[in-house]
Structure 1
Amino acid sequence: MDIDLALRQEQPAPLTADSTHDAKRDFESWDRSNRMSLMIMKHSIPKAFRGTKSEEITQAKSFLDDLEQHFAKNDKVEMTSLITSLMSMKYKGQGNIREYIMEMFHIASKLKALKIELSKDLLVLMVLEKWTLNELISHCVQEEDRLKRDKIKSAHLVSASKDEGKKRKYQNEAVKGPAQKKQEQVSNNCYFCDKPGHLKRDCAKYHAWRAKKGLPELPKAK
């Protein structure tokens, strides 16, 4: 049985005493498909997404049509709400102007999803129309000052971070005792001549000593 038969075909003519065997078979197939489709849809779709008249509908195709109209009404309500919000938005003189403008573009993107697309030029015009020339200049000056303050604040944070790193380095040096410093200095000295600046394998005196003792020459370090 094709469950979606009632969604693809119109309801056959009602049966009468003169209906043929084929007509009865077609009607029964459609009726069974219609009842199954309605049952599945009503159990699958929450009531919140359906119209109030959906319970009275007895045909699966009509049920889907009613559902589509219900969503179309909801889209219109949302559309009206978004347009109203966009038109009534006003900068209150507090916060980031950029965030305020981005919020307008965010609403415009929601309208675009509802198939109402506003051009960027129109959005820019809507932004500018909300202020007089003096207000716009004043807001631009405020925004420039805010950006400068943020830049100075960032520079202070970077400088403070560097100073903190130097401070920790000096503290670590101060914590080291004379014995530890001497040990570090000794570890950097040649183990043969006890002079800094080279390792034992590179020590000229060590090589001369080995030659004097008749020891084989060491391979040169690569």
Structure 2
Amino acid sequence: MATNNGVNVDQVLSIGTIVQLNGNNYKKWRADMDLYLLGQSLDWCLKEAEPVLVEDSTAQQKEHKEKWNRANRICILTIKKTLSDIVRGAIADKTHAGEYLKCITDKYQSSDKIESGMLLTKLQSMKFSMNLNIRKHIMQMINISVQLGDLGMSLDDDFMVYQVLHSLPDQFDSLQTTYNTQKDKWTLEELIAICVQEHERLKRNKAIDVNLITKPQWKNAKGRNQLNQTFIRSLRT
């Protein structure tokens, strides 16, 4: 089984299986590209400056220059082949494959900052409504935090617990008070279980209140007396 710097070459991607960079999949594309170039023993030229020959350059230096030129050329062609037309047109041409790859990375790092800002704003503005599924609400918030982590902005569990509690309506104030006054912290799994339980309790209490309010007056003693008195007065008139 052939290996290259500890990498199993037999398992390395072929150029045909490298996902095309289309604007929304940079991380996947970059991982595929790095693995392919490593497996093809081409990645060394990305970090090495172009060799410069002088009049008294040795045969070994000239040979190294030829190898670098070939590896660099293959890298540039490989990178361009895996870019969509739109992405390729947005990247300035470079003669050094390492510089060309850096231009692509810089473009997407800038995009990542914008996307991170949008996701963080969305997370902080999320509010739960009592007629929704609270487990799904919390999972959606956790999913956003995972996306932020993929973009280099990791949010710890304590922050997420605070953010979820902050997204709940006033009916959950007692839950927030309990969390703020106790010493132990909740994990996200514990938070989900506690919120689901509290949501169910609040819904049951609301159902009881609604039944009490909408219960017909004739079903209680006071209501029956009032109804009888009204009926008797109607007979006397």
Q: What TM-score do you get using the length of structure 2 for normalisation? A: 0.49
* Identity across matched positions, percent: 29
Q: Which SS does the other structure have where 1:90 is aligned?
A: coil
1:65 aligned residue: 102
Note closer, same or farther for the CA distance 1:75–1:61 as it changes in structure 2 (3 Å cut).
same
Q: CA deviation at 1:68?
A: 2.3
Query: Which of 78, 91, 94 lines up with 2:131 in the alignment?
Result: 94
Q: 1:148 to 1:61 in 2, by over 3 A?
A: same
Unaligned runs of 5+ in 2: 1-39, 175-194, 207-237
Give the counterpart of 1:45 among 53, 73, 83.
Answer: 83
Partners of 2:106 and 2:120 in 1: CA distance: 21
Counterparts in 2 of 1:107 and 1:147: CA distance versus 1, 3 Å: farther
- CA drift of 1:8 comes to 4.8
What letter is aligned with 2:201? E
The one of 146, 152, 157 aligned to 1:120: 157
- Counterpart secondary structure, 2:91: helix
The answer on whether the counterparts of 2:129 and 2:169 sit within 8 Å (CA) in structure 1 is no
Match of 2:201 among 133, 140, 144: 144
Check the 8 A contact 2:148/2:154 in 1, yes or no: yes
SS class of match (1:79): helix
Structure scoring higher RCO (CA < 8 A, sep ≥ 6) equals 2
| 1: CA distance, partners of 2:97 / 2:103 | 10
CA-based RMSD? 3.6
Number of aligned pairs? Answer: 147
Q: Secondary structure at the match of 1:95?
A: coil
Deviations 1:3-35 (A, max 9, x none): 44522532111x455544444333222222211
Residue by residue, what CA displacement relative to the aligned partner does 1:113-145 show, whole Å, maximum 9, x if unpaired? 3343323332222233345645646x9986436
How far is 1:39 from its partner? Answer: 1.1
Matched letter for residue 95 of structure 1: L
Check conservation: 1:35, 1:60, Cα contact below 8 A. yes
Cα separation, 2, equivalents of 1:10 and 1:4: 13
Task: Give the 3 Å change call, closer, same or farther, for CA 40–69 of structure 1 in structure 2.
Answer: same
Measure the CA separation in 2 of the matches of 1:77 and 1:51: 21
Is structure 2 residue 45 aligned with structure 1 residue 6?
yes
Runs of 4+ in 1 over 6 A off after TM superposition: 139-142
CA distance in 1, matches of 2:45, 2:168: 58
Mark the structure with the bigger radius of gyration: 1
Map of 1:184-199 to 2, 5 A cutoff?
A: none
CA distance in 1, matches of 2:41, 2:151: 34
What TM-score, normalized by structure 1, do the two folds share?
0.52
**Quick one: which amino acid aligns to residue 142 of structure 2?**
F
1:142 and 1:23 map into 2 onto residues whose CA distance is 73
Letter aligned with residue 73 of structure 2: R
Unpaired segments ≥5 residues, structure 1: 150-222
1: distance between equivalents of 2:158 and 2:89?
Answer: 39
- TM-superposed deviation, 1:76: 1.8
